[in-house]
Amino acid sequence: MPSLSAKDIAEAYGIPPQLLAKILQRLTKAGLLRSPCGTNGGYALSRPPEDITAFEVIGAIDGPLLLPRARPAPWL
């Protein structure tokens, strides 16, 4: 997959560069993106998009998701 610069992504989606930089760092730290160093750097998905879930993306950006346990209704 080709790499894109943070600047190109920010311009394409109208996202403030400072905000995007924080998001990209979190996604990279979570292993969802790769960011090679050097003149050909940038950001690319670390695996095929169909193998990345929304749950993983949200967890990487917002932190671990805690799902409450379902409790049986008191009348049951």
Q: What is the pLDDT of residues 38-73, one digit of tens each?
A: 667 799 999 999 999 999 999 999 988 777 777 777
Whether the per-residue pLDDT at 1 is higher than 70: the answer is: no
The Cα–Cα gap between 59 and 71 comes to 24
Q: Are 24 and 33 in contact (CB under 8 A)?
A: yes
**pTM of structure:** 0.78
Structure-token match 């943070």, residue found? 6
Q: What is the pLDDT of residue 54?
A: 93
The Cα–Cα gap between 72 and 76 comes to 7
Condensed to tens digits (0 to 9), the pLDDT of residues 17-42 reads: 999 999 999 999 999 999 987 667 79
